[in-house]
Amino acid sequence: MKLAGQEDVQSYLAQAQARGTLPHACLFTGPGGVGKRSLARWLAALGLCQAAVGQPCGTCSGCRAVALGTSADLCWVDRGAERQGISINQVRQVQDFISLGSLSGSVRTVIVTDAHELSAEAANALLKSLEEPAEQVRFCLTTSAPRALPATIRSRCSVFNLRLASASQVAALLRTAGAPAAQASELAAAAAGRPGLALRFLREPELYSTRVAASQEALAYLLQPSWTSAQAIAARFASAEGETSGEIRVRALELLSLWSEAVFEALRWRVGYEKAARYQATRDAVQLVAGRWRKPNLLAAAQLIAKAGDRLRQNGHVRLTLESCFASLALLAPDL
Ligand SMILES: [Zn+2]
């Protein structure tokens, strides 16, 4: 199966597999929804497919077990529903999986998604496994934040930066999934080359409307920043009933990435690279921000937001980090 936007990586990996030169450990990087997990699953199937047709056939028992998540030769590690990071215990389970060996003699795959969520202890333990490759075991890590991953782990992996799919590829995917043409092109534009995100927009309309609202709020703030609204937005995102601190942190990171997207949209508009808004509803606001903000200030704003994201990933205080980020943005804003 071809994954939209990842055809080159797939063909490279399939050829490497045929030559017997597939890397012992791959790291797939790229923004959320671009296809990192799908590609990781595809890679696991590449090692387990019994059809020997150069790529996963999708119908043999090996491929089906990977698709259903029932394969005994695949160990899938993620941060779990609590979103509390990836623990040392999870990595110990990986080590058990490796030491068991394969009954069928086939290539076994360990997939670690959101690898930047590994605790320091877990990352160290995983590093040991990466440093001492076991026969017939392959690692595949995914992350949307490669800089947050220890350099020691990054350097043990062959890094593949996943490409964005084209808008027409994403729209076609959405139409196949049942979306009417107009909705397919609207959601494809909003997903900006990320097929997984586009499909989530289709299945979870609330997610889409929340994103539009967050983008509107970010643009409104850039047009009229104030200490009061900085505090209000930060407080709203840092205090949620019944959520764990890990969940709040993840949501705050999502918020920052939406703000960053809004800034980059205005920047692209400002430099004339692309006069288009991601969401139909925010087109006017993007144009206004692009008209008022200077290029260097928009760039500095994007850097501020990226730094705030780094601080959050390093366990910075959520409300204070957001507050100080938004307040600093106000200093960059044009005089009203
Ligand atoms: Zn197969």
pLDDT tens profile 89-121: 999 999 999 988 777 778 899 999 999 999 999
Structural domain span for residue 146: 7-161
Of the residues 148, 175, 203, the one at which a domain ends: 203
CATH number of the domain at 111, please.
3.40.50.300
State whether 59 and 45 are in the same domain. yes
**What pLDDT, on a 0 to 100 scale, did the predictor assign at position 330?**
94
Spatial separation of the C-alpha atoms in residues 112 and 78, rounded to whole Å: 6
State whether 139 and 254 are in the same domain. no
Output the CA 239–ligand 1 centroid distance in Å: 47
- Rounded to 5°, angle at Cα 18 from 14 and 24: 75
Counted domains in the chain: 3
What is the arithmetic mean of pLDDT over 260-288?
90
> Residues with Cβ within 5 Å of ion ligand 1?
49, 51, 57, 60, 63
pLDDT above 70 covers what percent of the chain?
A: 98
Output the CA 50–ligand 1 centroid distance in Å: 5
3-state secondary structure of 205: helix
Report phi then psi at 161, rounded to 5.
-85, 115
pLDDT at 286 over 80: yes
Spatial separation of the C-alpha atoms in residues 97 and 92, rounded to whole Å: 9
Output the CA 62–ligand 1 centroid distance in Å: 6
Is residue 221 one of the residues assigned to a domain? Answer: yes
State whether 127 and 240 are in the same domain. no
Output the CA 313–ligand 1 centroid distance in Å: 38
Output the CA 60–ligand 1 centroid distance in Å: 4
Output the CA 102–ligand 1 centroid distance in Å: 17
Output the CA 42–ligand 1 centroid distance in Å: 10
Can you give 53-115 as a three-state secondary structure string? CCCCCCCCHHHHHHHHCCCCCEEEECCCCCCCCECHHHHHHHHHHHHHCCCCCCCEEEEECCH
Output the CA 267–ligand 1 centroid distance in Å: 45
**What pLDDT, on a 0 to 100 scale, did the predictor assign at position 80?**
73
Output the CA 22–ligand 1 centroid distance in Å: 18
Which residue carries 């942190």 as its tokens?
Answer: 249
State whether 134 and 171 are in the same domain. no
Output the CA 3–ligand 1 centroid distance in Å: 16
Q: What is the pLDDT of residues 18-72, one digit of tens each?
A: 999 999 999 999 999 999 999 999 999 999 999 978 899 999 999 999 999 999 9
State whether 30 and 173 are in the same domain. no
State whether 111 and 247 are in the same domain. no
**What pLDDT, on a 0 to 100 scale, did the predictor assign at position 262?**
94
Is residue 188 one of the residues assigned to a domain? Answer: yes
Output the CA 76–ligand 1 centroid distance in Å: 19
pLDDT above 90 covers what percent of the chain?
A: 80
Output the CA 67–ligand 1 centroid distance in Å: 10
Is residue 293 one of the residues assigned to a domain? Answer: yes
Is residue 1 one of the residues assigned to a domain? Answer: no
Question: Helix %, strand %, coil % for the chain, to 5?
Answer: 60, 10, 30
What is the arithmetic mean of pLDDT over 185-205?
95
pLDDT-based confidence at residue 336 (cuts at 50, 70, 90): low
pTM: 0.81
Report phi then psi at 77, rounded to 5.
-120, 125
pLDDT-based confidence at residue 250 (cuts at 50, 70, 90): confident
State whether 223 and 198 are in the same domain. no
Is residue 2 one of the residues assigned to a domain? Answer: no
Output the CA 1–ligand 1 centroid distance in Å: 11
Output the CA 73–ligand 1 centroid distance in Å: 14
Nearest alpha-carbon partner for 41 in 15, 11, 75, 18: 75
State whether 95 and 131 are in the same domain. yes
Is residue 274 one of the residues assigned to a domain? Answer: yes
State whether 246 and 268 are in the same domain. yes
Output the CA 158–ligand 1 centroid distance in Å: 24
State whether 179 and 127 are in the same domain. no
216 against 237, higher pLDDT = 216
State whether 217 and 296 are in the same domain. yes
pLDDT at 161 over 80: yes
Is residue 35 one of the residues assigned to a domain? Answer: yes
Output the CA 134–ligand 1 centroid distance in Å: 24
Output the CA 65–ligand 1 centroid distance in Å: 9
The answer to whether residues 61 and 50 touch, using CB atoms and an 8 Å cutoff, is yes
State whether 70 and 189 are in the same domain. no
